[in-house]
Amino acid sequence: MSKSLLRGLLVIAVAVAIVIALLIIPARLPAPKHTSNDDPWVLVNYNPEDKYGTFLANGFISTRLMGDGVGNQGGKPLPCFAAGFYENEKLTPIPTWSDLRFYYGNTMFVVDKTAGYKQTLNMRTGIFTTYATWRAKKKMLTGKIQVLVSRADPNIGLIRAELTPSFSGVVGIGASESVTEANLVKLNGALLRLTGGRSAVLSVYQTKQSKIALAIATVVPTNVGVRENVKFEVRKWVSISTSTSTERARREALTALEHVLSDEGGAIIRHKRAWEKLWQKDIRAVGSSRKQQQIIHSCMFYILSSVREGSKWSIPPMGLSNNAFSGHVFWDADTWIFPALILQHPELARSIVHYRYHTLPGAIINARESGMPGAQYAWESGYTGREDTPEGLPYRHGRHINGDVAIAQWQYFLATGDLNWLRTRAWHVIKATADWWVAKAKWIPSKGRYEIHQVVPPDESAELVNNSVYTNAIAVINLRIADKASRVLGWKPNPRWLQTAEQMYIPIDPKTRRFIAFDGYGSGKFGPAYRAKQADAELVIYPLQFTIGQQDMTAIYENTFRFYAERVHSGGPAMTSSAHAVIAARLGDCERAYSEFVKSYKPFIRGPFNMFNEKPSRYLDNMCFLTGAAGPIQAILFGLAGIKMDYFGTSELTIKPCLPRHWKKLVIKKIQWRGKTFDLTVLPGNNVKITPLN
């Protein structure tokens, strides 16, 4: 045989082998090009074993998502939550509604980790997509699975799969609800025929003690016939409702499901438009890196995901990503998250202050049990507002929370000018907290002043102290707000409010002209080596904006900030640097302000989806610390953009920006203030452009 003939036969054999291989080996998703994860709007993950994951929510319901792309990871259900779903004052997971699995016979399709893989979280649309190849032995499904939690329809979630099989046959679909909480019992489950002729599975649950009902209605096929290389689609629609009435929960879940099924395409469009409307109120740091702009967006995205208009529930520190700290509400909501929303999203911020009105009866009971008048807001509160901090922990005495609550109520009124809100809601909270401070303040005859003893300051490591400067100052502000609010409403104020405020002791060192954190600071265990857990005395500058009479506070502010900013533990919570960024900006130190802004997020971002950690450590990998995520937003709005509310003077905002030299300009879209809407643009030289929009 000639060499040329041999070579020809060899080429033919190789070609035949390639064709046969292509016929018998199913196509898999090609490996995507790994671009840098710095798109300002899209977060990307290429690792199916990513341990951080993300969460989707709409302010009412949520789901955790990881490498498998749905509500389970490696066959283990991931937690889902619903706002206000408390059992015995603790936020309890709801059944995992977001699971969707595919089977060939008894074999489940799992992500092929050797094939191409990509996940995206589109923050513009709130849609999470997993592109992958799923394998059950030699059978393959290639394509994408998407998850959304409807921003437009609060009860609705959707899992949508578009897959191409490597075979012909029947694909089984598993979509069972996994109950991971022992305090939740299933009352009944039924297969129902809906108005349009489709079938839905309805499950009704109830918490054992609180007797809160939860209904889940689901539409999804149990199997689907497929053809080789022909794409098929599966949609799992879920509707969730909670209520104190099982019948109401059942009815609301079915009604919401039938509504969305009547126009499935419209439901998805409504969801996208709802997110589009939220993002009209954007924050754009023009000239920043793409990654930095992405982080600004992701901080806002996770906050916006955990609140919704018309809700009566506030935000726990982890939002709806997790039920750490029992899903309780702390001062985090009022002092750290609320200000990040109030200027652009007052309709969403309202839920935070409404929660405090809604739980005022619980705060009044707390006060009575302590032998006090007025209201004593819980350091940790859940469904009723009753104190749920574990007995014996000093944090139960973090009494500054009363003032934190009152200031947020007042800020909401200042921002909206809503007199009806002030009269019917905020006033009751402000008055009750002010009455409590009058009783809490202790008159010291020998010193001719009021003092506040045995409280835990923001620096929780200090535990019980006397005369926490933050606590005393916020008490004064709370009392002044009560006096001011009563006059705005045309009512006669309690004269003891201003009397107590004017004679309250505010610790200031006359030599160094700086605030003193609390009695005993600077000696003993609070000596030079002591480091606060987080910003404390400097918070009197911001967010309190505390002033003494008509005197110029600049020197006191500068001395206080320079001293205490260097005495905070480096491993503390994220909020410190964001407060420092605002303070530095207001003192005119723009370089320091920008540096602190970067420090407010950079050590805390985890994983490809920018999950925010509480501390620079890694022990909260699977939670998103919204308290911290609000920090960079506050740093921009109230520091770099220079926006300032005047609690007692002018009803207009003042703007004194501190534009970083790294940015070309800063644009804050659709600020809302007392019925006016405008865009704020900060230009080089800290020039300000205001564009009215109404």
Predicted local confidence at residue 178, as pLDDT? 75
Q: Average pLDDT for consecutive 10-residue bins of the chain (694 residues)?
A: 44 40 45 77 96 96 97 91 96 95 96 97 98 97 98 98 98 82 85 88 94 96 96 98 97 96 96 98 98 98 97 96 95 98 98 98 98 98 96 92 98 97 98 98 98 98 98 98 98 98 97 98 96 97 95 96 96 95 98 98 95 80 90 98 94 96 97 97 98 95
Question: Residue 73: enclosing H or E segment and its boundaries?
Answer: strand 72-73
Does 614 participate in catalysis according to the annotation? yes
Top CATH class of 26-278 equals: mainly beta
Tokens encoding 519: 């009695």
Residue where the block lists tokens 């997971």: 93
Tokens encoding 2: 């000639």
In the three-class reduction of DSSP (H, G, I as helix; E, B as strand; rest coil), residue 677 is classed as strand
3-state SS, one letter per residue, for 336-388: HHHHHHHCCCHHHHHHHHHHHHHCHHHHHHHHHHCCCCCCCCCCCECCCCCCC
3-state SS, one letter per residue, for 440-499: HCEEECCCCEEECCCECCCCHHHCCECCCHHHHHHHHHHHHHHHHHHHHCCCCCCHHHHH
Residue where the block lists tokens 């995507």: 32
Question: Residue 392: enclosing H or E segment and its boundaries?
Answer: none
Tokens encoding 228: 């080789």
Dihedral (CA of 184, 190, 195, 197) sign: positive
Question: What's the CA dihedral at 618, 622, 626, 627 to 10 degrees?
Answer: -40
Predicted local confidence at residue 9, as pLDDT? 40
This prediction's pTM = 0.94
Residue of 177, 380, 538, 614 marked active site: 614
Residue of 181, 451, 460, 558 marked active site: 460
Q: Which amino acid is at 314?
A: S
Tokens encoding 33: 């090009």
- Cα gap 602→623, rounded to integer Å: 17
Does 460 participate in catalysis according to the annotation? yes
Tokens encoding 576: 């410190």
- Cα gap 576→459, rounded to integer Å: 11
Tokens encoding 141: 């499904």
- Cα gap 148→153, rounded to integer Å: 11
Predicted local confidence at residue 30, as pLDDT? 59
Q: Which of 552, 551, 596, 544 is nearest to 575 (CA)?
A: 596
Predicted local confidence at residue 32, as pLDDT? 59
Tokens encoding 674: 């007392």
Length of the chain: 694
Predicted local confidence at residue 498, as pLDDT? 98
- Cα gap 274→654, rounded to integer Å: 31
Q: Contact 407/477 with Cβ under 8 angstroms? A: yes
Q: Which of 167, 303, 174 is nearest to 234 (CA)?
A: 174
Q: Which of 607, 624, 666, 616 is nearest to 641 (CA)?
A: 666
- List, in order, residues 6 or more apart from 126 with CB less than 8 Å away: 56, 58, 148, 149, 151, 271, 272, 275, 301, 305
